Amino acid sequence: MVRKSLSLVLLLSACSDEPEEPVVPAALIIDRKSFDFGEWEAGKSSAEQLFTVRNASPANVESVSVSVEGSDSFSLASSTCEKYLAAGMECEVRVRFAPRLGGTHSARLKVAGAPSVEQTELQGTGFAWVDVSSMPPGTRVMAGDDSFTCTQPCKQAVRKAEVTLYAGPEGFPTWGAACASAPRDGCRLRLDASKSVALEAWTPLYQWEVRRSRPPVTVAPLANGSIVVLDALGVTALDSAGQERWSLPMNDYKMAVTSDGYISLVRYDGPVSQYDSNGRIRWTYTPSESMYPGRTVADGLGNTYVLGVKVNSDATQTLKLVALSREGVELWSASISEAPFNYSSGLGVVADGSSVYVAGSAFNREAPPPANPVFVKNFIQKLTPAGVVLWTKEVNWVQVSFAHTGEMISIVNLVSPPGGVMSWWMDPEGNVLWNAQTPTGEGPGVADTYVFASNAGAAPRLLFGGHELLPGTETYGRGWFADMGDRSKLVRGSVTYIDSPNGNGAWVSSLAYTSSARHVVVGGGFGSSADTAEGFIRLYDARTLTMER
């Protein structure tokens, strides 16, 4: 036997020319790079999908594991890939897709245990049925993303985690219990399963509309729920449903409604007549001297105040203020003259009759008629209940509206389309609390009317109404009205726009709260103030002033 020393064996081995075989690292391969489970209803499970994991190396893998990462809508149903996997051998994994919400879901099937591993991209889409089970006639239900609209009960597949439904036309919907509240009175649904929803009720923005041949000059509520309308043809009383109760043909009158529901009408040449809520005359007052009334208001005690112009023998003009009791008896009168020519621009009274306010403009005569008068000033006077002037203040504004508290507002229209306003709010002593304007170019439009809340129990708020100005044309755009703030600041509330059914523009000429303050009476015309095709009166839900749009 030949024996070799250990040193010789090591030497021969070190000098051998034969290369060593490389060590191949273990590799775990999944049979698919990606898989799409397709569409499945949220809250339900797909069929299980089989994936095969193979040890594609000559080396054994001592510890194999699989997992799904990225979405809890995918899960392992079963697996034989547990710990040891011999070289060239396979194990199986079954994966289930059960979308928890609508929408696209993705995850990764991962295998671990070897230096070289692969993963499979998983994808699936969840959907939910949105079943609009009922809705009032004439309404529609729309998805917030415009993906569908139902004009009758319908069932739609939605592939999103959440959807918001809205009702139309614009109004105040009542949704079923499946809905969570959403902005703009929407119905928000979380689509973790198919949902059934009902539009249980719908209240329109306005309860009724009455068309007139002329736009209203003044609208005013009565305590019995009726609404009195003054236009160029006369006075009409409408009941709470918009039906005509009575009418009085009249031309060129001014109107005020007392707190106890009597209607004082002032004729263009001075006489004042008062009617009850049924249109029956109570009394008539004829002034002792000729005057041309321009304004009339009433206090909370039932008294009526009339402000007019008296032309004197020397052709100058004096303002005359007359206070009448609820029985039509003259309580007092006062003459107001700040210059040879005086014109009225506002009349107000505190609800309890404790103060009366007059706004006007004064002019001097430059030369004998017909030369134009020369402007002197705009002014406001505060008077006692007996007609004694407490103070006179020169102001920069012209037209003035007064609240039942004695606070006052004046505006100037901004005519850069679509139009806006600049406003001043004054306290009962004529001190400016704020002046502000709407942002240029942002609307809502020019103001054709502005009033305070007529509910004497509420803090004064501003209601503006008017029309949009269209660029480069004298044609009116949409009519509009809105709450525009209070004594703290000018702030544009929710704007309600009014379209003409004839496409010829619209405008708002008169506004008032009903006595209950649950509705807003809106009067206006279609066309323009210079070329009115038709007038209208609408009774709007007061929530219109605060709704989100």
pLDDT digits (tens, 9 = 90+) for 366-415: 766 656 789 999 999 999 999 999 999 999 888 899 999 999 999 999 99
Q: Rounded mean pLDDT of 464-473?
A: 90
Cis peptide before 444 (omega within 30 of 0): yes
What phi, psi does 466 have (nearest 5°)?
180, -140
Contact in structure between 231 and 212 (CB atoms under 8 Å): yes
Mean pLDDT of the chain: 90
Q: Which helix (H) or strand (E) holds 218?
A: strand 218-221
DSSP single-letter state for residue 493 = -
What is the model's pLDDT at position 17? 53
Q: Tokens at residue 351, please?
A: 């609800």
Query: Lowest mean pLDDT: which of 84-93, 388-397, 447-456, 497-506?
Result: 447-456
- Split at pLDDT 50, 70, 90, the class of 304 is very high
Q: Tokens at residue 536, please?
A: 């209208």
Instruction: Give the three-class secondary structure for 489.
Output: strand
pLDDT for residue 130 is more than 60 = yes
What is the model's pLDDT at position 531? 81
pLDDT digits (tens, 9 = 90+) for 38-63: 999 999 999 999 999 999 988 899 88
* Residue labelled with tokens 């929408």: 103
pLDDT for residue 515 is more than 80 = no
Q: Rounded mean pLDDT of 482-490?
A: 92
Q: Tokens at residue 208, please?
A: 């009724």
Question: What percentage of residues in the chain have a pLDDT greater than 70?
Answer: 93
In DSSP notation, 365-413 reads --SSTTSPPEEEEEEEEEE-TTS-EEEEEEES----EE-TTS-EEEEEE
Q: What is the Cα Rg of the chain in Å? A: 40
Q: Rounded mean pLDDT of 147-167?
A: 96
Contact in structure between 358 and 336 (CB atoms under 8 Å): yes
| Residue 367 burial class via C-beta count within 10 angstroms: exposed 0-12, middle 13-18, buried 19 and up | exposed
What is the model's pLDDT at position 181? 87
Q: Tokens at residue 226, please?
A: 């009726």
- pTM for the complete prediction? 0.80
What is the model's pLDDT at position 20? 55
What is the model's pLDDT at position 11? 41
Query: Cα–Cα distances in Å, from 310 out to 290, 330, 336, 400?
Result: 7, 17, 10, 21
